[in-house]
């Protein structure tokens, strides 16, 4: 398969609910790596989590579905997804 058959896109996500203090960032990092995504995840001062991810449409759709579940102790009430311009990154990282 060529790269054209699986074009890469980028999305920004805002995840709301009980998503801080429940290993959400670490779990999102592991899931993103499993799906071959690049980008980052970070906590926001208002208690939400922000994610910027780049990958195939299928991988990002799968990741978004995971973001709704999160780790066991998370209670996700909203996931807001927005298409964003492509960006360069070598990996997926946790930002502080």
List residues with catalytic annotation: 25, 43
Helix (H) / strand (E) element for 78: namely: strand 75-84
Strand 49-56 and strand 75-84: the pairing is unpaired
Distance CA 46, CA 29 (A): 20
- The tokens for 39 are 């980008």
Element (H or E) spanning 83, and its range? strand 75-84
Q: Of how many residues is the chain composed? A: 96
Rg value, the chain, Cα = 13
């Amino acid at each position: 398969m060529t790269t054209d058959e699986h074009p890469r896109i980028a999305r920004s996500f805002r995840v709301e609910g009980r998503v801080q203090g429940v290993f959400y960032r670490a779990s999102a990092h592991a899931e993103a790596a499993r799906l071959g995504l690049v980008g980052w995840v970070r906590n926001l001062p208002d208690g939400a989590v922000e994610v910027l991810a780049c990958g195939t449409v299928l991988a990002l759709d799968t990741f978004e579905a995971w973001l709704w579940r999160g780790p066991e102790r998370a209670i996700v009430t909203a996931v807001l997804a927005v298409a964003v311009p492509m960006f360069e990154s070598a990996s997926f990282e946790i930002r502080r």
